[in-house]
Structure 1
Amino acid sequence: MSVADRAWAAVPGYFKENDTRLIAGLLLGTYVFHGVLAGFLAGVNNASVANAVANSASNITFLIAVYALLALALNLHWGYTGLFNIGVAGFMAVGVYSMSILAASPTGSPPGLGLPVPVAIVGALLITAVVGGLAALPALQLDADYLAIVTVGLSEIIRLVLNASYFAGTVTDPEATSYNVVDVFGLQFGTGGGQGISTPINSPARAIYETESGLTAIGDVVYGLADTVGVGTSVVVGGTYAVVLLVVFVTLYYVLLSRIGNSPFGRVLKAIREDELVARSLGKDTRLFKIKVFMVGCALMGLGGILWQGSYGFVNPNTFRPIVTFYIFTALIVGGSGSNTGSVVGGAVFAAFLLEGPRRIAGFVDAVAQLFFGSLPRPTNFYEAIVTLNPLAWAGYLVDNVAYLKFIFLGAVLVYLMQNRPEGLLGGRSEIAASVDLSDRTGGESDE
């Protein structure tokens, strides 16, 4: 039995029997881990412990939520249907940029269509679905690795088009009579090019606490309580948005995908995943099913991009590099493709422990070293660290280069999972294609 299997076997059945308890237990352990580290670092640096712990919880909640959202969306493609889509970042970009262009002022730089934000978000989802459908028409003629190559190529094409100055629509000279702008039936808009584009939902939770004339009744109470315990208002706003993402949107994604998976449509998707030839021989137009699910999944990826990158108030094309897709796929692999609960668990484990964990631990090691040794030696390169034969120098090198070394750690985790638990943490709970459990092959015979 592998370490991963033993760790899963050690989880009490009370948690394993209920998805809600399992996710709640994982979140509780995550918050304790990061809260203790953040509080310790704040104490060492004579900063506000309450603010540090609250800020850490807010950041971790946000990352868990967005990675869970996108892992769920990817699970619809890869886990349910077996479509190897590694162009997630490109569809996120389409969603964010479509929303920003639809909502931007016609007189802005770059100009937009001036639609209300809710209408712009709905329009962005439709545009992302259409782009996904157009991409699916030729791409789904291919299988496995070839589909992956097409989708990652499309993702890069989207990023480079958004980065191109030809479509920027940014006025740098007020006296200019013409500039590079897209004109469709008299509607002009631009992408901002390499300079990026503003998004209209910066700190959306702030409206709960503040208005143009001052604080709301809720804001007056909440900000007052936060100030009493030493928590900043920005942490309150960010934490509120993160909690809404985690509780509302992750729940909606989870319920939606569960309903899809349990529907006749979803059972066809899982039949395609298991053996497309068999599904086609039963009279199912598998190509049409794949196009439909590709469009739905891309729309969900676009919404995930809006809720994640669109919430910062500004976005740049280089935000959507292929490594973003790699991260999301890693989250799904860790949790287990084919399982919605596994997607949420994978998003949480990846964001809290594989992505942010090494940085937190490095900060903890550095703080402990300051307490007991004054400071760590800082070797300038790996060779200098090794030849000193000083464990403190090794620790100093690891702390300084944790941003790069975490990729080695991440790769090691993936190699271990592929060798010892390729189905992921919850991959054994992959949803079957049949509407009933066919695992009992005894024909219903009794043991008597």
Structure 2
Amino acid sequence: MSGPTDPIGRRLPDWVATYWEQDLIKILGTLAVVYALYLFVGLLLGYDLFGQLNSLRRLTFLIVVYGIAALVVNLHWGYSGLFNIGVVGFMAVGVYTATILSRPVAGQNPTGSLPGFGVPLPLAVIAGVLTAAAAGYVAALPSLRLRDDYFAIVTLAFAEILRITFKSSELQEVTVFGWTFGTGGGRGIRTFSNPVRDFFETSGQPLVTAVETVGVDGRVVPDWSFVFVLLVILIGTYWLIARLSASPFGRVLKGIRDDEEATQSLAKHTSSFKIRAFVIGCAILGLLGIVWQGASSGYVTPDRFIPELTFFIWIAVIVGGAGSNTGTVVGTILFVGLILEGPGQVRRVVEEFVGLSGSVPTFPDALGALVGGNIDPLVLYVFDQTSALRVILTGLVLIWLLKRRPQGLFGNRQEIASSVDLKRLVAERRENKSGAQVQGGDGD
């Protein structure tokens, strides 16, 4: 018996399927489940109200920033067929450009800090976005000749070249035509202050005070406000990509993804469409780098833009399913909540209730204790290796997806290339024809 199914193929009751078909319900439902898990962990660990809010704020922050990047990857790969694994390189271009431009000029900056060009922050942000788009255009030029894995190699190499360039000691501080600036080299560079936090330290201080009067730590106000600003960017990115995918431009991109030669036969200049899609995505990544790596931490180093970050973003898209914006967001929520942050939460619970303390330096030490009948050192060693445990969980999830759901949780959704749903049109015509035959038979 056929009917609507959940992401792993089980048939849903009709009343559930009615709501489950709505994209917003899928996203909010998944987010509610992950939130509930973190609130439950917070209760187990004895968090107060500030602790719970801070835990959810960090979770939401990571979901939003990873979600923006994942939507760009979905635009490039899910809709355009462009295998971009140099995501972090374009984020680096955006934040470094905005940082260098916005820093005070030589003579006006604090002693010992790198000077810049003294450009107002809004203009520096726009320049960072445009520079990231320009870098995307340069990287996309090989797409005229390269496809799939070859294009992936180019983008990965491009991102690594940028990271090594920013890390270069020769560019730590340079003077060109009388202007002194620099990237800070391997030690990094201090970025601009967070405008949202600056607002609450001045004009928004009464709101912070009002929150403190009801017993809530005032720090949650600027922190959560910044997360809401990022959430607006995520919603705007989702809306933009959804509009693009439903437009004639987006339908051409889907045609290129499915069969580029057939699309070319329809007199479409496919290279131009791919480059434009790539540049749009890189501009969004430039903005993401500015608000994520710049405004959130106030300090940026080249080592934050390692390929591992790109791979994590790709995993979020793979979990949700390429070609589906909703699946991408849901996949990001699951990846961040269960894989990226999950091991740390489990470790805190284990340390709280099992009473493990100390550290086990090597695996042979833990294995030797296990042979002697003591499992505690092995458990402690496993949760000491949080990054390794995260990689193992990622591998297990990918293996499960390959066996049970290779297209991702929502990757089986039909994205029509035509502006008219031909299947629905044919079905309506058949119904009209059948109705006409029945009426004709009654009249004989």
Q: TM > 0.5 between the two?
A: yes
Counterpart CA distance in 1 for 2:161 and 2:233 is 29
> What's the counterpart of residue 280 of structure 1?
264
> What's the counterpart of residue 169 of structure 2?
165
Contact 1:113 1:189 in 2 (8 A): yes
> What's the counterpart of residue 207 of structure 1?
198
> What's the counterpart of residue 266 of structure 1?
250
User: In the TM superposition, what is the alpha-carbon distance from 1:437 to its structure 2 partner?
Assistant: 2.6
Contact 1:167 1:182 in 2 (8 A): no
Contact 1:61 1:243 in 2 (8 A): no
Counterpart CA distance in 1 for 2:389 and 2:292 is 25
User: In the TM superposition, what is the alpha-carbon distance from 1:275 to its structure 2 partner?
Assistant: 0.5
1:60 aligned onto 2:59: yes
> What's the counterpart of residue 282 of structure 2?
298
> What's the counterpart of residue 176 of structure 1?
none
Letter in structure 2 aligned against 1:199: T
Counterpart CA distance in 2 for 1:402 and 1:314 is 24
User: In the TM superposition, what is the alpha-carbon distance from 1:139 to its structure 2 partner?
Assistant: 4.0
Residue number among 193, 197, 217 corresponding to 2:185 in the alignment:
193
User: In the TM superposition, what is the alpha-carbon distance from 1:360 to its structure 2 partner?
Assistant: 0.4
User: In the TM superposition, what is the alpha-carbon distance from 1:199 to its structure 2 partner?
Assistant: 1.4
Contact 2:208 2:219 in 1 (8 A): no
> What's the counterpart of residue 220 of structure 2?
235
Contact 1:125 1:300 in 2 (8 A): yes
1:396-443 deviation digits (Å, cap 9, x = unpaired): 332222332221111111121122211111112253322233445956
1:31-76 deviation digits (Å, cap 9, x = unpaired): 11112212321x2xxxx52121111011001000001110011111
Letter in structure 1 aligned against 2:196: A
> What's the counterpart of residue 119 of structure 1?
123
Contact 1:203 1:237 in 2 (8 A): no
Contact 1:369 1:376 in 2 (8 A): no
> What's the counterpart of residue 155 of structure 1?
159
Letter in structure 2 aligned against 1:191: T
1:223-268 deviation digits (Å, cap 9, x = unpaired): 333xx14x3x33332222113312x111101111111111111111
Contact 1:15 1:25 in 2 (8 A): no
Q: Which structure has the larger Rg? A: 2
* 1:14-33 paired onto structure 2 within 5 Å: 14-33=18-37
* SS of corresponding position for 2:354: helix
Cα distance change of structure 1 residues 441 and 18 upon mapping to structure 2, 3 Å threshold: closer
**RMSD of the alignment, in Å?**
2.4
> What's the counterpart of residue 100 of structure 2?
101
* 1:350-361 paired onto structure 2 within 5 Å: 350-361=335-346
Q: How many residues align?
A: 419
Counterpart CA distance in 2 for 1:193 and 1:380 is 32
> What's the counterpart of residue 8 of structure 2?
5
Letter in structure 1 aligned against 2:349: F
Contact 1:73 1:297 in 2 (8 A): yes
Q: TM-score, normalised by structure 1?
A: 0.87
* SS of corresponding position for 1:435: coil
Letter in structure 1 aligned against 2:83: F
User: In the TM superposition, what is the alpha-carbon distance from 1:14 to its structure 2 partner?
Assistant: 4.6
Counterpart CA distance in 2 for 1:284 and 1:317 is 39
Letter in structure 1 aligned against 2:8: D
> What's the counterpart of residue 73 of structure 1?
72
1:208-232 deviation digits (Å, cap 9, x = unpaired): 4221xx863322212333xx14x3x
> What's the counterpart of residue 331 of structure 2?
346
Residue number among 326, 330, 345 corresponding to 2:311 in the alignment:
326
* SS of corresponding position for 2:8: helix
Counterpart CA distance in 2 for 1:438 and 1:113 is 56
**Where do 5+ consecutive residues of structure 1 fail to align?**
170-180
Higher mean C-alpha displacement, 436-445 vs 74-83: 436-445
Contact 2:7 2:410 in 1 (8 A): no
Counterpart CA distance in 1 for 2:7 and 2:243 is 30
1:433 aligned onto 2:425: no
Q: Report % sequence identity.
A: 42
Counterpart CA distance in 2 for 1:380 and 1:418 is 34
Contact 2:19 2:25 in 1 (8 A): yes
